[in-house]
Amino acid sequence: MRTIDDLQVAGHRVLVRSDLNVPLDRSGDAPRITDDGRVRASVPTIAALLDRGARVIVTSHLGRPKGEPDAKYSLEPVAARLGELLGRPVAFAGDGSGDIAGERAREVVGALADGEVAMLENLRFNPGETSKDAVVRAAFADALAALAEFYVGDAFGAVHRAHASVVDVPKRLPHAAGRLVLTELDVLRRLSATPERPYAVVLGGSKVSDKLGVIRALLPKVDALLVGGGMCFTFLAALGHGVGSSLLEAEMIDTCKELLAEGGERIVLPTDVVIADRFAADAATKVVAADAIEEGWLGLDIGPASTRAFAERLGGAVTVFWNGPMGVFEMAPFAAGTRGVAEAIAAGNGFSVVGGGDSAAAVRTLGIPDSGFSHISTGGGASLEYLEGATLPGLAALGV
């Protein structure tokens, strides 16, 4: 695998694929980045290239727009934040269209001098980025590759996605892995090789269908799998409980039944949940047993008894990996489960990794010091798939 130290970038255009998919608060007049961890984590690679006289073109996705422009998901505020962190202006190439690598991008990139940096608009505004059709992806990858002479893959959080900017562009340009990818791999190798036992994995969050699939491969490797967040309701449904209007992957109930049979006592589910009458910070709420969720109500956090039980299991673990908040921590009434789990992990003195854009944001916005964890990873799904032992397309594309 080549690193950026192997590329002669001075005076050349380098396209960097970062993961700048940050959480945004859109309740005010202008969108506000609530946690800039992924932008900060992307700086070392970009700064190193700029210091060597490269002309850097930063690219990323943000959220999940549907292959067309959607102002809500513009990277413009992220370009501004990156500029602050780099201490130099970032020329933003967005023009409100889905033509991410078109005329406007060529103009902005063409005007870069050595040591200057530009950012393209959200890659997912173009249907070619995520298309399953290789021909459609190839056309977009051709346009992106035409902007640069080198490619650097640094989007660790997206290396599990076989998307144009992650796998097709490096096929077209001399390429290397960025600093963030190398740092993340160092830590994950340690976790996946010989984790010291007991090894506990905590799963939550909302990307349920993505992550349920990983459990089967992970199960034989762990001593305890604690399931909270939006993930737990498909398991509760598999036990025959009603889950009201909570997040549910109905077509995965049978998979969850199989996993429960296979995992036995290693799979730990919440015994109580915080339910709300609507998805809002000022909703009516109550704590109920996990088998007593009422019709029309939705589970938005694990309950206090579950939080204590999870904390106890985590207290006995020597290695911990955590991905996915235990509840909708962005709203105060549903943050206690996530806080409890974060504090329990931080109180331990084993090897602990928390991964994922929102999980890392939760840890920081709840005020848990970074020092409570051995590593805070920028990748949730990416880390999980790595730990599962899967071949990650974005790493394979870089020769890892």
Ligand X SMILES: O=C(OP(=O)(O)O)[C@H](O)COP(=O)(O)O
- Of 66, 166, 77, 171, the closest CA to residue 126 belongs to 66
CB 10 within 8 A of CB 54: yes
The option from ligand ADP, ligand X, none interacting with 247 (CB < 5 to 8 A, set by class) reads: ligand ADP
Three-class SS state of 32: strand
- Both tokens of 101, joined, read 């690598």
Stretch 47-76: interaction string toward ligand X, x if CB under 6 A: -----------------x------------
Which of 38, 52, 55, 137 is an active site residue?
38
- Both tokens of 400, joined, read 């890892």
Region binding ligand ADP by CB under 6 A among candidate stretches 190-198, 257-265, 356-364, 390-398: 356-364
CB 357 within 8 A of CB 378: yes
Q: Which of 350, 357 has the CB closer to ligand ADP?
A: 357
The option from ligand X, ligand ADP, none interacting with 379 (CB < 5 to 8 A, set by class) reads: ligand X
Is residue 381 a contact point for ligand X (CB under 6 A)?
yes
Rg of the chain over Cα atoms, rounded to whole angstroms, equals 21
Question: CA distances (Å), 43 to each of 12, 48, 87, in order?
Answer: 19, 8, 11
Q: Which of 319, 359 has the CB closer to ligand ADP?
A: 359
Region binding ligand ADP by CB under 6 A among candidate stretches 49-57, 111-119, 205-213, 284-292: 205-213
CA distance 257 to 251: 11
Stretch 363-392: interaction string toward ligand ADP, x if CB under 6 A: -----------------x------------
Largest Cα separation within the chain, whole Å, is 64
Is position 357 annotated as part of the catalytic site?
yes
Q: Which of 19, 272 has the CB closer to ligand X?
A: 19
The option from ligand X, ligand ADP, none interacting with 300 (CB < 5 to 8 A, set by class) reads: ligand ADP
Q: Which of 153, 381 has the CB closer to ligand X?
A: 381
> Binding-site residue total for ligand X (CB under 6 A)?
12
Half-sphere exposure for 253 (CA within 13 Å, toward CB):
13
Is position 38 annotated as part of the catalytic site?
yes
Q: Which of 206, 255 has the CB closer to ligand ADP?
A: 206
Within 10 angstroms of residue 388's Cβ, the number of other Cβ atoms is 18
CB 119 within 8 A of CB 58: yes
Is residue 328 a contact point for ligand ADP (CB under 6 A)?
yes
- Both tokens of 118, joined, read 């530009």
**Residue 96 annotated as part of some ligand binding site:** no
Is residue 19 a contact point for ligand X (CB under 6 A)?
yes
CA distance 82 to 78: 6
CB 120 within 8 A of CB 59: yes
Q: What does the H/E/C string look like for 198-220?
A: CEEEEECCCCHHHHHHHHHHHHH
The residues of the shown chain that bind ligand X, judged by CB under 6 A, are 19, 21, 64, 157-158, 161, 207, 356-357, 379-381
The residues of the shown chain that bind ligand ADP, judged by CB under 6 A, are 204-207, 229-230, 247, 299-300, 323-325, 327-328, 330, 356-359, 380
Q: Which residues carry out catalysis?
A: 38, 207, 357, 381
Q: Which residues are annotated as a binding site for (2R)-3-phosphoglycerate?
A: 38, 124, 161
